[in-house]
Amino acid sequence: MNKAQMISLVLIAAFRGLIMPMELGISKYPYLIKDVCISDKLAFVISGRHGLRIIDILNPRSPKEVGHFDSGAKSQAVSISSNLACVAQGSEGLDVLDIQDPSQPELLNTYYSVTEITGVAVTGNLAYITDHWERIASSGYFNALFN
């Protein structure tokens, strides 16, 4: 892939005071970036058909990929809760991953919906998803995903 095709970037930015954002580092990828979620010193990046990429941002001037989960699906969005990552996989459902070891995320379970899941947000032990029609389609307890 040539440099002209590398159009997707992950920008790591910081705010000085409350007035001026400042770019600190760039991580280039040769595929479309759709979503990002930050937890501790890790960025969880959704890259469409390339799944979840986990990037160490401890040093924001030099971000490094430390792990990934290639689902083979068309990934849409990610949300993090504790050691779990919920990844909206479009028509393939919602994947729940164990990210305790970010270098080797492990699929725990998948929730299937009758519609294409386009977004996810997690609060406490609830995962809220949006469907293809961009409405809140359902919510469920994480415990239900493991039964």
CATH number for the domain that contains residue 41: 2.130.10.10
Please give the Cα distance from 103 to 66 (Å, whole number): 5
How much is the pLDDT for 67?
95
* 68 is a domain residue: yes
Q: Which residues contact 36 (CB under 8 A, 6 or more apart)?
A: 10, 43, 44, 45, 46, 78
* Residue 94 resides in a domain: yes
Q: Residue 27 domain-assigned? A: no
CB 97 within 8 A of CB 83: no
For residue 77, name the pLDDT band (cuts at 50, 70, 90).
Answer: very high
Of 56, 55, 93, whose CA–CA distance to 71 is shortest?
A: 93
State mean pLDDT over 74-78.
90
The answer to whether position 20 is within a domain reads: no
Q: What pLDDT does residue 116 have?
A: 85
pTM: 0.77
Q: How far is Cα 38 from Cα 75, in angstroms, rounded to an integer? A: 17
User: pLDDT tens, 50-67?
Assistant: 889 999 988 877 888 999
Q: Could you tell me the two tokens for 138?
A: 């359902």
CA angle 28, 87, 81 (to 5 degrees): 100
Which domain, by its residues, includes 117?
3-15+33-145
Strands 84-88 and 94-98: antiparallel
Q: Which of 26, 25, 116, 101 is nearest to 66 (CA)?
A: 101
Instruction: Count structural domains, the chain.
Output: 1
- pLDDT computed for residue 57 by the predictor: 87
Task: Give the pair of three-digit tokens for residue 40.
Answer: 């501790």
